[in-house]
Structure 1
Amino acid sequence: MKTLYGALICSLITAISFGQELNETKKDSTEQEITKLDEVIVTGNIKTDPVLTVVANNYYEDIVQPKNVADLFNNINGFSVIKRGNYAIDPSFRAAQYEQLNIQYDGGTKAMHACPNRMDPITTHIIPEEIAKIEIIKGPYTVRYGATFGGVINLVTQKPDYEDYGFHGKVSAGYESNGNSLVNLVQLQYIQEKYDIVANAGYRDFGNYKDGNGVEIPSAFRSTDYGIKLGYNFTEDQRLQGHWRQSFGRDVLHAALPMDTEYDNSSIISLDYKLDNIGEIAKSFTAKAYYSYVDHLMTNTDRPSFKMTESSSAVDASTMGGKIELNWVPVNKLNMFSGLDALHIARDGDRTRTVKFKNGNPLPTPIVFNDKVWQDSYITDIGVFTEVKYSLNPLTIITGGIRYDNVTSDILDPAEDFSKMYDLEKRTEHNISGTVSIKKLVSENFTLEAAYGRGVRSANMIERYINHFTVGQDPYEYIGNPNLDAEINNQFEIGFKGIEQLQNGFNSFRYETSFYYSFFENYIVGVIDENLTRKFNPMLEPTHPKVFQNLNESYKTGFEVLAQIDFLNNYYFKTEFAYVYTKNKDLDESLPLTPPFNTKLSIGFQKEKFWGNVQYNIVSEQDNISKSFGETETDGYQTLDVRLGVKPIKGITLGVALINAFDEAYISHLNFSFTNQADFGRTPITEPGRNFSAFLQYTF
């Protein structure tokens, strides 16, 4: 893999040299804008945009309260979050989560978690104030951004403002009353025609929050982040950009996990290059290379189990990869994207246990054990793809794409008992995925989209190599299976969106909806194996562990609907619905982590100097559950949020919000249960009660 990574770096250097030579001989004197990197997926161009996409708003412009990145998904229709505390939060989209979602930064950069309990998901390695927008492709409807099973999520960080040269910046601060939480950010940028520099630094200090019943939930954490982005424009059509960032999490409490995070340090470096307007056939060339490293330490020092057994686990994860892509037009009306990408994930680390008691009696000399967490494992995915967009006519685009992934995996330091279970050897998989779709502008105000995608996902490292660790929502030990077949998602979807102009005080009516159906092959879940017994704490229940297996028959179906009426020029009323139903036919139950039906009703106004909205959230009960996953039925609930923002003078933005105004005590269905906590039983963690927040930003 290091050789491949080096080759990607070399391709950047070679491309730069080639681009310089090409531009020296180029005689086109037409004035052009500076080339934009492929940091974004959705550009507003029907000829290049993927089908069935959603773009969330510019949070850095309208944000009125401090959030963490995962919270940004709460107001995107179809999304839920999986919560283990206030820090370890994962987004879920249409009951797809974790590696089922292709989550990345700026069009391809990735940083994978080190902790097997996902204390440090990708959303923890960047701060929300850096996110300019979130782009979502709703299913496996493109082959250009890596292997994709349930959809693509692209977190776009803020870019330099090329239209405003010179020195600029912003300073922001936020406060939340529920937990006495503080956030701060400083961002500076210097922009010139040839080069630009953007630097930022942020600090977050969150305390334990209280739920609607006034119960304090252990969820405090601190984090410090900084980043530097450098760009150089060789010509109007050629740009090179480097991005370096680090994040440092400290003293993180996880209410629904067996240990807490002492520290979580991550480093991410990426290099992007683009050459545009090459010629008649070859239009543009892009290249990306990146590397990330996560160093993570978790302990049970402040947990009840510490009196019996002292545990400390130091783990790390390395992620490296890149992509090269050529956009070419061999014939008129045919726009093609061909390329190669690579992703390499390596993890290692051990857990040290000092056992102080045996059979309820103290040991005269504690016994020390060393447990292999990741067993020095790796997964490498090298993909080759071609995607074609054919303009049937100016208003109709047909897209087809095919992708081949060569996935190799190996375990270099297996535990003795794991070696006895399996015939361990390096494994290679060959995955084929593809898509076909159509996008038609029926009229200027109405768009129809339909797509089929075959998304293929090879098993992740937990599913392959975890060895008797509790990594699920339930108290079972889980055992990996290196022989798992790749999951396949056959997804069909149809959607339409439009806008109608109204009269008599009503300006317009906007609507958007999607209906989808997926049937899965080889769906991966943990299944109880009664032939095996628990390895750690053998006196505890449940006695038998779970082993990851493939299911033969499962599916999901659902829809999202949005409708909005704009009236009196600056006012609006909006409603959103999202529903997903899943079925595991093998076990005759729902698939795990299926969110309930939810509705959002909001009314608000948006003016140049001030804005506000009131949002009423209605979440139904969920009785369609996965009992084998440890899920329990959850009640429905309603909450009310109020947000106001104002720009009193140039450069100043002030926002206030009242979240959960009625101080509702409620549980989100996807929340994990309290684990190894002194004052809590094994029930799902509760959400924050009433929370007042304020946000102040100064730009210059």
Structure 2
Amino acid sequence: MKTLYSVLLCTLITAMSFGQEQNKTKVDTTKQKINKLDEVIITGNLKKDPVLTIVTNNYDKDIVQPKNVADLFNNINGFSVIKRGNYAIDPSFRASQYEQLNIQYDGGTKAMHACPNRMDPITTHIIPEEISKIEIIKGPYTVRYGATFGGVINMVTQKPDYEDYGLHGKVSAGYESNGNSLVNLAQLQYIQEKYDIVANAGYRDFGNYEDGHGTKIPSSFRSTDYGIKVGYNFSNDERLQAHWRQSFGRDVLHAALPMDTEYDNSSILALDYKLDNIGKVAKSLTAKAYYSYVDHLMTNDNRPSFMMMEAASGVDATTIGGKIELNWKPLEKLNVFSGLDAMHVARDGGRTRLVKIMNGNMLPTPMTFNDKVWQDSYITDLGVFTEAKYSINPKTIFTAGFRYDHVTSHIQDPEADFDALYDLNKRTEHNVSGTVSIKKKVTDNFTLEAAYGRGIRSANMIERFINHFTVGQDPYEYIGNPNLKAEINNQFEIGFKGKQPLKNGFNSFKYETSFYYSFFENYIVGVIDPNMTRKFNPMLEPTNVKVFQNINESYKTGFEAMAQVDFLNDFYFKAECAYVYAKNKDLAESLPLTPPFNTTLSLGFKKEKIWGNIQYNVVSKQDNISSSFGETETEGYQTLDIRFGVKPIKDITLGVAVINAFDETYNNHLNFSFTNQADFGRTPITEPGRNISAFLQYKF
């Protein structure tokens, strides 16, 4: 810990301006008002916003280097990422991850992964240049956006610039030296009073990166994306919008997974509708419907195991959902949101194995086996909710919410051995969750928030139905359990934030912190079953398997804190830190994937046409580990990042960055280990060494 506080140097800024000075024609002040959709959860309205939230920087105005979506979470306090390569990266918040986080686009659109090893998480189906900001609700403190266990993450895509009619657009290109990586994006928007259209297309080509020792990490990939968003305004108060996008991943190498992705194709369609100013009591009606389909093929063609067995696995995932919500005010001080939502996830697909060597002997004729991966399974969640906000006085808001989820799950084509383990009838669960909170603006410069949330998460499809596949950080085969109870998170949190004016060259002092405690019921983990053995490669260690089980006693606690001093009008110094401690009492160890304590120190400046920062990242050693999950202790590390952006002329933005300037060799505690790689043992994958990037954007 001393190392963490001995450092006080540096900064946070997300750099390059996608910001735009408006072209030519000024806004016609008589034009029709745009009825904005509920794509955004957090609006800066005390009477409507959820409690204990974060709104990240506007990335379309501050980007200074090409990124993937997961990189956008690296600079958000309290977040870490779970990395299996340069493509399959999941965000983790306060040691919650995967379906424990309610991750969505534009206030509700979802796209679930097809691969059981999460080669294609939701963050791979959209490019970072499309995201204008990320909104986070820190816990189960709202019931309006689907079943929520550990928090809500809403990635807001760019919307039309309603301030300027006509045709506008932008083109951008970026380069990263570590891997000779290229990114390109083109976007056009056409805005009229009655309708608007935004279209974009992007291409990314990332090579294998090198760590600080010069070791090349197999992590290359290519992806092509395009999307189109069309909106129509029926009147001042009524709007319909359609958003269609597709993403095509190709030749993706996964350093820490047993296979690579040949292709990953995703399609997402979302429809949004809003009717505003309905009447005296009923204020507005919103509706959303979405559909996503992911088609995924993975093989071991370029892996050491190919000499003994050829494997190809084609899997798919279909996600269908929607939501309808009424905002009504029965009393002047009472604002109520009531509605229902639905999400249906269905997966299927199998693996074909051509076995060439068995029990150490070459077979005269290879044998073909077909394994069912998802066993034609589905989970359907139908939810109904009401959330009320009561204004105790103009500066104090009390919120209470209630939610009921009817969850149905079924496996329709089970393997014979899985069928023999369980009674596989259709199962129905009834989950009740809720929240109460209070937000008080004590003064104009100080806000206090406190909340309790009961979040419930039914087991996901891997935890229910996976059958003898290695889906963890360790080499164990995992077996699902369709009888798992739903996880329950009872989370308490208190937070405050404020701002104080200063003198003598110092402009202001900003601060923000929150403390939380969660105790879990029925937490789901994989536990070794000494009575069951491996199904595939039975001669390999470990010979036993893990079966997903509920544990009785577990908890986590932690905090995030931020302090920032603005001085000399354009300069700032910012310090952030985050800590989480988790405990699995049943196994007397930590819960898995708990990040270590980390601190970020930033020194930077922001002017209209030039900005820059230096950021020093300090991550401590993590020795509070989950041995049963296959975790090992991770040493601490320190890295330095430098970013600089400039607008040399109108509509042109340039950015350069040096990431990991000291060329440090390190691995994040949440990184998975090399798997089935010719030149690597089973050790955690290392992060990129020094990386110099450049970015250019032109707006018109």
Fold shared by both chains (TM-score > 0.5)? yes
> What residue in structure 2 maps to residue 291 of structure 1?
291
User: What does residue range 464-613 of structure 1 map to in structure 2 within 5 Å?
Assistant: 464-613=464-613
CA–CA distance in structure 2, aligned partners of residues 206 and 162 of structure 1: 34
CA–CA distance in structure 2, aligned partners of residues 360 and 313 of structure 1: 24
CA–CA distance in structure 2, aligned partners of residues 164 and 511 of structure 1: 36
What is the CA-CA distance between 1:352 and the residue it aligns to? 0.3
> What residue in structure 1 maps to residue 365 of structure 2?
365
CA–CA distance in structure 1, aligned partners of residues 331 and 391 of structure 2: 11
> What residue in structure 2 maps to residue 455 of structure 1?
455
> Which letter does structure 1 place at the counterpart of 2:187?
Q
Deviations 1:523-576 (A, max 9, x none): 000000011010000000001100000000000000000000000000000000
> What residue in structure 2 maps to residue 672 of structure 1?
672
CA–CA distance in structure 1, aligned partners of residues 667 and 556 of structure 2: 24
> What residue in structure 2 maps to residue 270 of structure 1?
270
CA–CA distance in structure 1, aligned partners of residues 428 and 447 of structure 2: 42
> Which letter does structure 2 place at the counterpart of 1:246?
Q
Deviations 1:419-478 (A, max 9, x none): 000011000000000000000000000000000000000000000000000000000000
> What residue in structure 1 maps to residue 414 of structure 2?
414
SS in structure 2 at match of 1:673: coil
> What residue in structure 2 maps to residue 438 of structure 1?
438
CA–CA distance in structure 2, aligned partners of residues 419 and 349 of structure 1: 17
CA–CA distance in structure 1, aligned partners of residues 437 and 605 of structure 2: 36
CA–CA distance in structure 2, aligned partners of residues 667 and 379 of structure 1: 35
> Which letter does structure 2 place at the counterpart of 1:215?
T
User: What does residue range 99-498 of structure 1 map to in structure 2 within 5 Å?
Assistant: 99-498=99-498
What is the CA-CA distance between 1:360 and the residue it aligns to? 1.5
What is the CA-CA distance between 1:361 and the residue it aligns to? 1.5
Query: Would you say the 8 A contact 2:507–2:567 is kept in 1?
Result: yes
Deviations 1:64-93 (A, max 9, x none): 110000110000000000000000000000
TM-score by length of 1: 0.96
> Which letter does structure 1 place at the counterpart of 2:529?
D
CA–CA distance in structure 2, aligned partners of residues 250 and 66 of structure 1: 19
CA–CA distance in structure 1, aligned partners of residues 625 and 301 of structure 2: 34
SS in structure 1 at match of 2:331: coil
SS in structure 2 at match of 1:545: strand
> What residue in structure 1 maps to residue 67 of structure 2?
67
> What residue in structure 2 maps to residue 639 of structure 1?
639
> What residue in structure 1 maps to residue 8 of structure 2?
none
> Which letter does structure 1 place at the counterpart of 2:220?
A
CA–CA distance in structure 1, aligned partners of residues 33 and 391 of structure 2: 25
CA–CA distance in structure 2, aligned partners of residues 359 and 427 of structure 1: 40
> Which letter does structure 1 place at the counterpart of 2:393?
N
CA–CA distance in structure 1, aligned partners of residues 254 and 475 of structure 2: 16
Question: Are 1:623 and 2:623 an aligned pair?
Answer: yes
CA–CA distance in structure 2, aligned partners of residues 81 and 411 of structure 1: 31
SS in structure 1 at match of 2:499: strand
> Which letter does structure 2 place at the counterpart of 1:214?
G
CA–CA distance in structure 2, aligned partners of residues 256 and 395 of structure 1: 50
CA–CA distance in structure 1, aligned partners of residues 294 and 541 of structure 2: 33
Query: Would you say the 8 A contact 2:313–2:352 is kept in 1?
Result: yes
What is the CA-CA distance between 1:31 and the residue it aligns to? 9.2
CA–CA distance in structure 1, aligned partners of residues 256 and 688 of structure 2: 15
Query: Would you say the 8 A contact 2:32–2:193 is kept in 1?
Result: no
What is the CA-CA distance between 1:496 and the residue it aligns to? 0.1
> Which letter does structure 1 place at the counterpart of 2:490?
N
CA–CA distance in structure 2, aligned partners of residues 183 and 591 of structure 1: 37
> Which letter does structure 1 place at the counterpart of 2:324?
I
TM-score by length of 2: 0.96
What is the CA-CA distance between 1:60 and the residue it aligns to? 1.5
> What residue in structure 1 maps to residue 693 of structure 2?
693
> Which letter does structure 2 place at the counterpart of 1:113?
H
CA–CA distance in structure 2, aligned partners of residues 108 and 329 of structure 1: 23
Deviations 1:473-520 (A, max 9, x none): 000000000000000000000000000000000000000000000000
SS in structure 1 at match of 2:71: helix
SS in structure 2 at match of 1:69: coil
CA–CA distance in structure 2, aligned partners of residues 588 and 243 of structure 1: 48
Query: Could you say which structure has the greater relative contact order, defined with CA pairs below 8 angstroms and 6 or more residues apart?
Result: 2
What is the CA-CA distance between 1:331 and the residue it aligns to? 1.1
What is the CA-CA distance between 1:336 and the residue it aligns to? 0.1
SS in structure 2 at match of 1:464: helix
Q: Provide the aligned C-alpha RMSD in A.
A: 0.7
Q: 1:127 to 1:545 in 2, by over 3 A?
A: same
> Which letter does structure 1 place at the counterpart of 2:543?
T
CA–CA distance in structure 2, aligned partners of residues 34 and 231 of structure 1: 10
What is the CA-CA distance between 1:32 and the residue it aligns to? 7.1
CA–CA distance in structure 2, aligned partners of residues 44 and 494 of structure 1: 19
> Which letter does structure 2 place at the counterpart of 1:385?
F
Q: Which segments of 5 or more consecutive residues in structure 1 lack a partner in the other structure?
A: 1-29
> What residue in structure 2 maps to residue 25 of structure 1?
none
Deviations 1:633-663 (A, max 9, x none): 0000000000000001110000000000000
> What residue in structure 2 maps to residue 3 of structure 1?
none
> Which letter does structure 1 place at the counterpart of 2:428?
T
> Which letter does structure 2 place at the counterpart of 1:235?
S
What is the CA-CA distance between 1:33 and the residue it aligns to? 2.6
> What residue in structure 1 maps to residue 11 of structure 2?
none
> Which letter does structure 1 place at the counterpart of 2:306?
F
> Which letter does structure 1 place at the counterpart of 2:479?
I
Question: Are 1:87 and 2:78 an aligned pair?
Answer: no
Q: 1:357 to 1:338 in 2, by over 3 A?
A: same
CA–CA distance in structure 2, aligned partners of residues 684 and 479 of structure 1: 24
How many residues get paired? 671
What is the CA-CA distance between 1:115 and the residue it aligns to? 0.1
Q: Which segments of 5 or more consecutive residues in structure 2 lack a partner in the other structure?
A: 1-29
CA–CA distance in structure 2, aligned partners of residues 296 and 549 of structure 1: 28
Moved over 3 A (4+): none
CA–CA distance in structure 2, aligned partners of residues 275 and 249 of structure 1: 37
What is the CA-CA distance between 1:34 and the residue it aligns to? 1.6
> What residue in structure 1 maps to residue 26 of structure 2?
none
CA–CA distance in structure 2, aligned partners of residues 328 and 379 of structure 1: 31
SS in structure 2 at match of 1:99: helix
CA–CA distance in structure 2, aligned partners of residues 387 and 71 of structure 1: 33
> What residue in structure 2 maps to residue 681 of structure 1?
681
